[in-house]
């Protein structure tokens, strides 16, 4: 399998505070990894660096053959190949769900409106909210909004999907509907990096689980071994807290 | 070194920023020296008449000679101590408010809102207990600015609170009366309200009664500002969660009890910054009273500049007045901003 | 004391038994009180008016005004009626408000955006501008520009002349009057170019929807506009001559005649209103832009939109929704504040109607009511608009 994301000795500081310390990570095409860890451990920053919503200061990040650094001219191109789903959904409140989905295909990929709408309907169908297409984000439940956000990202037909705690802002009864969509997506063969505390989801779909603490990767193992045989004390403590 | 880094980030980040920074600095370079020369270096500060101003700069002698009139209006010179005394009492009680225990705070608050107004009016106006009577038509200057704004706000606060409660009432007559009253005053400019006070009030009163002009003006400003206060207070009432009303009702409190003991204390705390902003607006509006012939600070400056011995010094007068208003308004707005931020963090 | 408490208890018990009284009684009381106050006032008013020999009613509006107005947009002389004087005042109010609103908006947006600049110097200058002009009373600013600055202009015979085009002196500012030849061709050409641009924009929008092709509409529109207008001016022989104001001396008095004159009162008033209101608009603009969640820009970036596209498609549409209601409110405030015109004798509705006309007729009640009602109508119509706008947006978003 080919490498699609490669991070080498990545370091990042917010002022004097170091959020990422010598991160090394490779993700192969079609691989699904789950990143977990206590809050403030730098896991969100890590995946935000992958589509350069945050700039790293030291080290190399290569995504789909393109190196991310200050000289990168077309960040937009990389971003259009990397989909991202946020904790707070971040749907555009002034546009309908359909327009949220067609916006980027029209303006970035220069598709015609009709084409873009067909595409959007196809993905809205996939996340099962095609009947809500004409509504505005504020009229939808949290779970529906997050599924719409996933559809919006998918409309750019990305090679990689990043999820930044996609279920943390949801009411318990809505978590499942979003996770189901994500499981579906994983089965379809998408490359996925997911920051989440949903260990059930990790067990079901992840190839590898990464545990981060205080800015470094503490433990990185195939899913089975991670849950059955964690080595690091901090991982054990974290797992015991989150699983009970 | 740190400065170079800082300016590189904040002033010269790219060529556009650099161009902007250099343009601004150049404009400063061109405009500041003449301005400073006019205000300070070439200005004359001391003297008795316009003839003493020989430099090219500002003639601050004008302000210096007239400062008493700008502060107290035409109030008799030998009675000015009465105004000073009242303001000293006022500022001492406000100042000490921040340093004493909460029990004494309550006493000071009651003193300021209930006793002090009468005391102040007695001191200013006199007419009994051996104090000479000073008619309101000679009141003026900054003293009048402060007098009108403080008294108007004291009067319009309770009216505003009642109107705000009225607007949220379930009783249609009271609700629509409040809405009509509030929207009427918010819809018209203050100057028309002052005209109304000047020419319409006398018509509505029984012939022969002559209501003092200052009182008419204060009534007009109170009616006008109470509408604005009402809207500010209504914002506070709306911010109180429904649960507070339910909780008050559930322990058997009626409308008045629940409002006085539960709702208003919480709502009024939230609206302090809004009330402060309304007060600033009111303060900035006081110069308008010159259209009905009362002369507060700006009015006095306007009069002084037409004095034959001091012609051509309008700029100095206005700059001085602007400086005084600015100090008051700016410090009050910073204070209310501070309160707002404090409220935001405590909630 | 004991008796009182007992009676209150009785009253409470009574009210509990008849709850409807608690609802109707206070309302009845208010109506009664209002009735008493109104009838008391009108009784006094009618005796006072009778004593002074003033008739009530609005018939005076048709009477001859017999005063002159220094500046008016429509023809007016002392033979015209009070009603026409009212109209002159109203138009002058609207004129100065319109000018003020235009400049306040331009300056306000500029300053508000500068306030958010990453260049600290620029941001601080914008902040200083806002703090200075919002914390000095408007009336003082008007006086300053009118009495201190514009009064420093030279007398008519040695006017300040800018580019041989603008003549400024203590009596006002004079610019040449435009005299057109074949103006109708130019106007038709102008309208034609607008129409073409409109068609072009809608066609290219449709085309984009169909095929995804993006045309640089803005640049092309500019090219269309200039080409058509240039051709029309060239071939239609549209000519423009300027009729310059000429300094004339009449019995030792110097005056500019001809040209277009703008009176200093209008300049001072429009200038101060713009500066003062622009500070409030700048704060609205700043709040509007800051009010957009950071996540919105991130989400837009994450789907590959460029910086310019994010601004055009995400930031501006959302910011405008936050900005428009408070800015409309500021427009209303500006219009109300234009009534300060009376203090420097700019003939607005307050000066002409509530000032001169009232002085002449003595009809205090009628005239003050008409003036207030005029402003009230403006306010109410604007707040109806704002309610409609807010409702429209809240339906779309929630």
pLDDT tens-place string over residues A166-192? 998 888 888 998 999 999 999 988 999
Q: Which two tokens stand for residue C140?
A: 């003082």
State the DSSP H helix or E strand holding residue A46, giving kind and residue range, or none if neither.
helix A43-50
Do residues A11 and A58 touch, judged by C-beta distance below 8 A?
yes
Give percent of chain B above pLDDT 90.
Answer: 17
* Residue where the block lists tokens 């996609």: A166
Question: Hey, how many other C-beta atoms are within 10 angstroms of the C-beta on B173?
Answer: 17
| Chain A residues with CB-CB distance to C324 below 8 A | none
In Å, how far from its chain's centre is CA C236?
38
Closest CA to B177 of B190, B157, B162: B162
C345 interfacial to chain A (CB closer than 8 Å): no
Closest approach of chain A CAs to the CA of C335, in angstroms? 31
Q: Is the pLDDT assigned to residue B207 strictly greater than 90?
A: no
Which residue on chain A is closest to C312 by alpha carbon? A107
Do residues B232 and C70 touch, judged by C-beta distance below 8 A?
no
- Per 3-state DSSP, chain C is made up of helix, strand and coil in percentages (nearest 5) of 75, 10, 20
Distance (Å, whole) CA B35 – CA B31: 6
Distance (Å, whole) CA C374 – CA B18: 50
| A82/C302 touch (CB, cutoff 8 Å), yes or no | yes
State residue A192's pLDDT score.
Answer: 92
State residue C157's pLDDT score.
Answer: 67
Q: Is C138 helix (H, G, I), strand (E, B) or coil?
A: helix
Q: Is the pLDDT assigned to residue B294 strictly greater than 60?
A: yes
| A94/C305 touch (CB, cutoff 8 Å), yes or no | no
Q: Is the pLDDT assigned to residue B50 strictly greater than 80?
A: no
CB nearest C119 (choices: B17, B199, B287): B17
Give percent of chain C above pLDDT 90.
Answer: 22
Q: Is the pLDDT assigned to residue A199 strictly greater than 50?
A: yes
Q: Is the pLDDT assigned to residue B44 strictly greater than 70?
A: yes
Outline which parts of chain C fall under CATH 1.10.3720.10.
82-176+253-391
* Residue where the block lists tokens 């002052």: B194
State residue C395's pLDDT score.
Answer: 57
| C309/A107 touch (CB, cutoff 8 Å), yes or no | yes
State residue C83's pLDDT score.
Answer: 87
Q: Is the pLDDT assigned to residue C385 strictly greater than 80?
A: yes
Q: Per-residue pLDDT averaged across B308-333, rounded?
A: 88
State residue C42's pLDDT score.
Answer: 81
Distance (Å, whole) CA B289 – CA B296: 8
Looking at the structure, give the CATH architecture of the domain made up of residues B140-342: Orthogonal Bundle (1.10)
State residue B71's pLDDT score.
Answer: 83
Q: Is the pLDDT assigned to residue A149 strictly greater than 90?
A: yes
Distance (Å, whole) CA C398 – CA C202: 30
Q: Are B and A touching by the rule of 3+ CB pairs within 8 Å?
A: no
Q: Which two tokens stand for residue A147?
A: 């599924």
State residue B72's pLDDT score.
Answer: 85
| Chain B residues with CB-CB distance to C47 below 8 A | 206-207
| Chain C residues with CB-CB distance to A93 below 8 A | 318, 397
State residue C99's pLDDT score.
Answer: 92
Please, which residues bridge with residue B59 across strands?
A: B44
Closest CA to C285 of C136, C101, C110: C110
Distance (Å, whole) CA C263 – CA C63: 28
State residue C398's pLDDT score.
Answer: 45
Q: Phi and psi of B344, rounded to 5°? A: -60, -40
Do residues B59 and B43 touch, judged by C-beta distance below 8 A?
yes
Q: How confident is the model at residue C397 (pLDDT cuts 50, 70, 90)?
A: low
Q: Per-residue pLDDT averaged across B261-277, rounded?
A: 86
Closest approach of chain C CAs to the CA of B140, in angstroms? 16
Q: Best-predicted range by mean pLDDT among B10-24, C196-210, C332-346?
A: C332-346
State residue B10's pLDDT score.
Answer: 75
Q: How confident is the model at residue B173 (pLDDT cuts 50, 70, 90)?
A: confident
Range with lowest mean pLDDT among A81-90, B307-316, C122-131: B307-316
Mind listing the pLDDT tens digit for each residue in A58-105?
888 888 888 887 766 667 778 888 899 999 889 998 889 999 999 988
Q: Per-residue pLDDT averaged across B55-60, rounded?
A: 78
Decide which of C362 and A206 is more confident.
A206
- DSSP annotation of C81: B
- Dihedral sign (CA B154, B155, B158, B163): negative
Cβ contacts of C253 within 8 Å, gap of 6 or more: none
State residue A73's pLDDT score.
Answer: 66
Distance (Å, whole) CA A231 – CA C262: 85
Q: Per-residue pLDDT averaged across C238-265, rounded?
A: 72
Q: How confident is the model at residue C56 (pLDDT cuts 50, 70, 90)?
A: confident
Exposed / middle / buried, residue A68 (Cβ in 10 Å: 0-12, 13-18, 19+): buried
Give percent of chain A above pLDDT 70.
Answer: 97
Q: How confident is the model at residue C259 (pLDDT cuts 50, 70, 90)?
A: low
Q: Per-residue pLDDT averaged across B293-319, rounded?
A: 85
Q: Is the pLDDT assigned to residue B53 strictly greater than 80?
A: no
| B189/C365 touch (CB, cutoff 8 Å), yes or no | no
Q: Is the pLDDT assigned to residue B150 strictly greater than 70?
A: yes
A108 interfacial to chain C (CB closer than 8 Å): yes
Q: Per-residue pLDDT averaged across C200-223, rounded?
A: 78
Q: What is the largest CA-CA distance in chain A?
A: 55
Q: Is the pLDDT assigned to residue C109 strictly greater than 90?
A: yes
Q: How confident is the model at residue B19 (pLDDT cuts 50, 70, 90)?
A: confident
Question: Hey, how many other C-beta atoms are within 10 angstroms of the C-beta on C305?
Answer: 23
Closest approach of chain A CAs to the CA of C201, in angstroms? 16
Question: Half-sphere exposure of residue C359, counting CA atoms within 13 Å on the CB side?
Answer: 7
Fold of C82-176+253-391: MetI-like fold (1.10.3720)
Distance (Å, whole) CA C139 – CA C273: 10
Decide which of C158 and B212 is more confident.
B212
């Amino acid at each position: 399998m080919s490498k699609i994301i490669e991070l080498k000795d990545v370091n990042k500081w917010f002022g004097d505070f170091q959020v990422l310390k010598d991160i090394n990570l490779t993700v192969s095409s079609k691989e699904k990894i789950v990143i977990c860890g206590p809050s403030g451990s730098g896991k969100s920053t890590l995946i935000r660096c992958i589509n350069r919503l945050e700039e790293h200061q030291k080290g190399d990040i290569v995504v789909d053959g393109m190196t991310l650094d200050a000289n990168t001219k077309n960040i937009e191109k990389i971003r259009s190949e990397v989909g991202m789903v946020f904790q707070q959904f971040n749907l555009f409140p002034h546009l309908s769900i359909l327009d949220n989905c067609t916006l980027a295909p029209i303006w970035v990929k220069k598709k015609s409106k009709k084409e873009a709408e067909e595409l959007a309907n196809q993905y809205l169908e996939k996340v099962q909210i095609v009947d809500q297409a004409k509504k505005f984000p504020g009229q939808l439940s949290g779970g529906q909004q997050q599924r719409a956000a996933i559809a919006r990202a998918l409309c750019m037909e990305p090679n990689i999907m990043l999820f930044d705690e996609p279920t943390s802002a949801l009411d318990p009864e809505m978590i499942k509907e979003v996770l189901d969509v994500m499981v579906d997506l994983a089965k379809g063969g998408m490359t996925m990096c997911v920051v989440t505390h949903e260990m059930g989801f990790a067990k079901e779909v992840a190839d590898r689980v990464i545990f981060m603490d205080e800015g470094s990767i503490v433990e990185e193992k195939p899913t089975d071994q991670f849950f059955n045989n964690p080595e690091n004390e901090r991982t054990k403590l974290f797992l015991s807290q989150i699983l009970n | 070194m740190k400065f170079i880094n800082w300016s590189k980030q904040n002033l010269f980040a790219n060529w556009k920023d650099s161009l902007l920074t250099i343009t601004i600095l150049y404009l400063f370079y061109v405009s500041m020296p003449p301005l400073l020369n006019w205000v300070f270096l070439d200005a004359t500060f001391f003297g008795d008449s316009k003839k003493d101003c020989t430099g090219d700069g500002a003639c601050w002698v004008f302000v210096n000679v007239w400062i008493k009139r700008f502060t107290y209006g035409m109030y008799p010179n030998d009675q000015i101590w009465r105004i000073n005394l009242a303001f000293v009492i006022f500022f001492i009680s406000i100042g000490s408010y921040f340093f004493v225990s909460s029990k004494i705070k309550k006493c000071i608050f009651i003193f300021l809102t209930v006793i002090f107004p009468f005391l102040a009016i007695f001191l200013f106006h006199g007419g009994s207990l051996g104090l000479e009577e000073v008619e309101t038509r000679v009141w003026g200057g900054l003293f009048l600015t402060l007098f009108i704004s403080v008294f108007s706000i004291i009067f319009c606060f309770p009216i505003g609170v009642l109107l705000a409660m009225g607007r949220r009432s379930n009783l249609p007559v009271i609700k629509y009366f409040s809405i009509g009253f509030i929207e009427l005053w918010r819809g018209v400019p203050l100057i028309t309200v002052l005209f109304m006070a000047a020419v319409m009030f006398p018509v509505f009163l029984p012939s022969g009664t002559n209501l003092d002009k200052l009182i008419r003006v204060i009534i007009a400003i109170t009616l006008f500002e109470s509408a604005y206060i009402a809207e500010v207070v209504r914002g506070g009432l709306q911010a109180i969660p429904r649960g507070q009303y339910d909780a008050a009702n559930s322990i058997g409190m009626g409308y008045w009890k629940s409002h006085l003991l539960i709702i208003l204390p919480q709502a009024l705390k939230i609206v302090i910054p809004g009330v402060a902003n309304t007060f600033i607006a009111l303060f900035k509006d006081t110069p308008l009273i010159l259209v009905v012939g009362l002369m507060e600070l700006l009015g006095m400056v306007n009069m002084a500049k037409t004095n034959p011995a001091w012609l051509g010094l309008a700029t100095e007068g206005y700059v001085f007045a602007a400086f005084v208003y600015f100090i008051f308004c700016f410090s009050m707005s910073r204070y209310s901003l501070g309160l707002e931020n404090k409220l935001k963090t405590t909630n | 004391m004991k008796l009182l408490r007992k009676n209150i208890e009785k009253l409470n018990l009574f009210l509990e038994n008849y709850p409807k009284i608690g609802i109707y009684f206070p309302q009845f009381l208010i109506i009664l009180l209002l009735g008493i106050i109104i009838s008391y006032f009108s009784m006094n008013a009618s005796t006072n008016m009778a004593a002074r020999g003033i008739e009530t009613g609005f018939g005076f509006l048709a009477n001859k005004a017999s005063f002159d107005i220094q500046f008016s947009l429509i023809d007016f002389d002392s033979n015209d009626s009070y009603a026409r004087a009212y109209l002159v005042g109203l138009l002058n109010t609207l004129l100065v408000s319109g000018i003020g609103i235009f400049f306040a908006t331009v300056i306000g947006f500029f300053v508000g955006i500068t306030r958010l600049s990453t260049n600290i110097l620029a941001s601080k200058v914008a902040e200083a501008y806002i703090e200075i002009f919002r914390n000095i009373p408007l009336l003082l600013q008007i006086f300053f520009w009118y009495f201190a600055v514009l009064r420093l202009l030279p007398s008519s015979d040695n006017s300040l002349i800018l580019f041989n085009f603008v003549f400024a002196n203590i009596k006002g500012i004079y610019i040449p009057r435009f005299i057109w030849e074949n103006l109708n061709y130019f106007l038709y050409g102008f309208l034609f170019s607008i129409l073409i641009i409109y068609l072009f924009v809608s066609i290219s929008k449709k085309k984009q929807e169909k095929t995804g092709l993006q045309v640089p509409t803005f640049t092309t529109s500019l090219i269309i506009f200039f080409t058509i207008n240039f051709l029309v001016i060239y071939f239609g022989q549209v000519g423009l001559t300027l009729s310059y104001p000429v300094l004339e001396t009449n019995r030792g008095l110097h005056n500019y005649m001809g040209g277009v004159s703008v009176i200093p009162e209008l300049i001072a008033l429009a200038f101060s209103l713009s500066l003062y209101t622009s500070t409030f608009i700048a704060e609205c603009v700043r709040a509007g832009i800051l009010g957009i969640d950071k996540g919105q820009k991130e989400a837009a970036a994450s789907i590959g939109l460029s910086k310019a596209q994010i601004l055009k498609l995400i930031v501006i549409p959302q910011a405008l929704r936050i900005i428009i209601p408070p800015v409309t409110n500021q427009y209303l405030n500006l219009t109300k504040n234009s009534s300060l015109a009376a203090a420097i004798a700019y003939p607005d509705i307050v000066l002409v109607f509530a000032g001169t006309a009232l002085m002449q007729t003595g009809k205090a009640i009628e005239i003050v009511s008409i003036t207030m009602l005029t402003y009230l109508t403006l306010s109410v119509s604007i707040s109806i608009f704002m309610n409609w706008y807010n409702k429209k947006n809240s339906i779309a978003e929630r």
